[in-house]
Chains A and B, each alone.
Chain A
Amino acid sequence: MSVLSRQFLLALSLLALAFTSFAAPQTSSSNDKHAVAVHYTDMAHAIFGDAEKSALALQAKINDFLNAPSAEGLIAAQEAWKTARKAYQQSEVFRFGNSIVDDWEGQLNNWPLDEGLIDYVSDDYFFALGNIGGDINIIANPSINLGTEVVDTSTINAELLRSLHELGGSAANVTTGYHAIEFLLWGQDLNGQQLGAGERPYTDYLTNDKCTHENCDRRADYLRAATEVLVQDLQYMTKQWAPNIDDNYRAELLALNDDVILARMFYGIGSLSLGELGGERIKVALEANSTEDEHDCFSDNTHWSHYYNGLGIQNIYLGKYRRLDGSVLSGPSLSALVAKANADTDKQTRQSLDKTMTALTVLTKAAETKDKPMKFDMMIAEGNKRGEAILSNILSALVVQTRSIEQAAAALNIDPTATGL
């Protein structure tokens, strides 16, 4: 976490100080709590399962494209990437409160990245100061010199990409995950804070003499390998949440005290709400007017990433998840537990979650409208009052929502920081 966002978590923390002064008028039975905990793991299984399925669909589209590169094939792969983000972004709510997810997510969703590590970039590209990997260009180089060692990169495969991830200890050296794939599908967004995303030509993948920007075969190998890593990683995580396995994370989690599990649920939604989504992903970019701090900067898909983060938070509280196939998984929820203890608090919490989703819908509509769309990178431009208003509105809603979440936890007499972590 950057220093700049610390104040958000702090604000959250101070709410916790007073939780003990509330008392739950009606305590829920341990059966109720356990049912909510079990359903939480069911939801995780469904959401990671959807992330896995949509990553497999992405892989299929990428294979089709690479087998016969075409403009249409590239667009189809890009669309599949956007679809693959939907469930994953909803899964991020499991990060905070579950170390197994948080320790793993970097290889899937690290950003911002120094894309010059992977492929060609424009002349005015900047990378993290002092990053030895910032302009290495793995695709163009069959071996790379790191000063202290020379790495053989003649074969680009999953193993190589995993070994080079975060090389030199720099978090900007991202070789795997959604954003590496995003860069390979879109290329750099050279439009600054004007309309337009990355415009990588499909010819970057032609294996004949029409290949543009050289090394098309190695670029294809890279894209294939990065997608394979993504699929493997998601398969691993889905299994961790699968029922009826004795030694996976789900079993380990459900063996804990139910209050601890509920604390982790609250901690997860609170931290994503204010610290990560509000702080890292909106506030930093807005205050610094910095496209470098835009989440999905190559594809200009940031508005949807934010939207699905918000939805992920709401899902957990309501115990409800709409699968990618449209079916709905619903079951015992925090909302029901809170309603039993204090109906008003529950109502307020649900309303504040709704309000955030409304504010996020304003964002997606502004970004998707046919007539003069305004993407996230345009909203954060200096002097864009309307963009600033849209994003500030989301921030305010997240603040209120986080406060509601704290009160909901207090109504159950749960200390959201007592996660046992």
Chain B
Amino acid sequence: MISAVMNLIRRGHTSRTLILACSFAAVTACSPPPPSAKLLKETGELSFISNYQDFSVSSQQLADASADFCQTPDQAAKFDTLHTKWKQATIDWAAIQNIQFGPLMVDNQAWKIQFWPDKKNLIARKVETLLKDGKPITLQRVDEASVVVQGLSSLEYQLFDSKAGSQQRYTGEAGVRRCELLTAVSTHLQNVAEGLYNSWRKDGGNYLATFSETGENNPEFSDDNLAIGYLLDTLVSGIELIKRDKLERPLAISSSANNEAQGSAPQTQVYQLEWWRSQYSKEAIIANLSALEDIFNANTGYGLDDYLREDKQQAALSDKINEGFKRCIVAASAIDGSLFDIANKPEHRQVILDFHRELSQLLALLRNDLPTALGVSLGFNSKDGD
């Protein structure tokens, strides 16, 4: 309870949490775990840790590609590779973006990776200011700077912006400083990603134990239902984020209305789309959906799907939710072109609305039916609709 909130702000709290979590791990090892414990363990191992590992690996590759490109910044092929590596890291980030607990929440790790929406174009302004000020660009400098110049968002600007993201900007004498920033920010991101993965690993911070071995000595989760509540919140707020922040707000879709009034054009705010500079919004959404589906199923392990079916006798709901994820992914994949491009084209509107409707239906299952079936309540966040 306490730590859930404290973790958001206080530095240094996790290490204590983790030590405590390890010390009682042995106690529970003797008796066969109840289904809820199995659920937590397998979801943690097969879904969460695996996703953190992927993100750590692709961030490493992105950092390597940055360093490699900056050796010979006039080679177009290396710039293409860099773009590809950024996209892979962004897809892997989408798989953990929705996780609402644990190391990601400590000391604002998520903000260091992504700053969005950036309504006032702070990323461009702060990156350009830093480039101009003449002081040496180091890893430490980036670490101490505003979160706005860090992470994938900053790299997206540096690699995909119509002006700042052109390869020519990195060549010649003027390009040296841009390359310094590119490599420093990539390396910083790699450190953040690696830190997150290490916090979860058994031979690292072993947050897996904190999450899956609950009990009164566990400083964060006094029982399994509390941890299951976080899983639930991750699913619900994940779909809400896609529905509201990634679709409704930028594309001016009313949250409830299925039918739009004909005639007046919707007032879209396309610069509030996630990843608008790289036009990678749709791919990131699909990656979010796949990851949430993966969390629900604990990949191939004993996940919420099995727990519902076997422990709660809710096979029908379990199937409906899995069906819902599939329908959402199909509907998102049916969108032709990037959201940024088609946002204001009437002929594409219906496909987007169809996807939105699928999301609403899945959200209703997750928000209304799933908590009841699990006997776990949802909190403020998932209820406020704000």
Contacts and interface: CB of A to CB of B under 8 A. Distances in A.
The judgment on whether A and B are partners is yes
Given A7-B110, A288-B122, A403 B5 contact: yes
B377 A17 contact: yes
A29 interface: no
B226 A10 contact: no
A396 B8 contact: no
Contacts of A10: 100, 233, 237, 379-381
Given A9-B384, A172-B119, A287-B146, A128 B271 contact: yes
B362 to A, nearest CB: 19
Given A11-B4, A126-B121, A17 B105 contact: no
Interface string B131-156: 00000000000001111100000000
Interface stretch (B188-196, B262-270, B279-287): B262-270
B238 to A, nearest CB: 11
A174 B79 CA distance: 42
A201 interface: no
Interface residues of B, number: 57
Nearest to B234: A10
Nearest to A147: B265
A127 B125 CA distance: 12
A267 interface: yes
Provide the main secondary structure of the chain A interface.
helix
Contact of B5 (A11, A128, A129): A11
Band of interface residues on A = 35 or more
A128 B119 contact: yes
Nearest to A415: B377
Given A170-B269, A287-B108, A392-B9, A13 B381 contact: yes
Interface of A: 1-4, 6-18, 20, 112, 126-131, 148, 168-170, 172, 267, 270-271, 274, 287-290, 292, 382-383, 392, 395-396, 399, 402-403, 415-417
30 contacts: A3-B117, A7-B100, A10-B233, A10-B380, A10-B381, A11-B5, A11-B7, A13-B233, A13-B383, A14-B229, A17-B377, A18-B226, A126-B121, A128-B119, A130-B269, A130-B270, A130-B271, A131-B269, A148-B264, A169-B267, A169-B268, A267-B380, A271-B380, A287-B108, A287-B146, A288-B115, A382-B145, A382-B146, A396-B9, A403-B2
Interface of B: 1-2, 4-10, 100-101, 105, 108, 110-111, 115-122, 125-126, 144-148, 222, 225-226, 229-230, 233, 237, 241, 245, 252, 264-265, 267-271, 376-384, 386
The 4 closest A-B CB pairs, nearest first, are A13-B379, A169-B267, A129-B271, A13-B380
